[in-house]
Amino acid sequence: MLNIMQKHINKLSLTILTMLGIVKLSSKGQLVIPENIRSELGLVEGSTCILRTVDNKIILEKTDDVERKIAFLEQQKERLGWSKLMEKSLKKVWDNEEDENEWKKYL
């Protein structure tokens, strides 16, 4: 009888196996991204990518994905800035003794 682990393929293992490729660096420093990985990521001729290193690893990301991440972070940064500005400008309205005394009646 087959072990349940042998009978069923673990989704993570399958993903790792389909995304695994061994590449060789050419004399010009070029790598060929295996077809299955290009297909999985939607990379076609002319696609632009960003290459960076993290913890002694090479990370290759599609430019569109990076641009979306940057735009999201910029939006978050802008929202934080507006929140701080709003808090600062409304501090006088929020922090006043008359309102505090009124609230104390109900709390």
CA–CA separation, 52 and 61 (whole Å) = 8
DSSP annotation of 33 reads: -
CA–CA separation, 102 and 104 (whole Å) = 5
Contact between 33 and 58 under an 8 Å Cβ cutoff? The reply is: no
The helix/strand/coil state of 53 is strand
Segment 13-30, tens digit of pLDDT: 656 555 667 788 999 999
**pTM for the structure as a whole:** 0.45
Tell me, what's the pLDDT at 1? 47
Percent of the chain past pLDDT 90, that is, above it, reads 8
Segment 38-88, tens digit of pLDDT: 888 888 998 888 888 999 988 888 888 777 777 777 888 888 888 888 888
- pLDDT of 107 above 60: yes
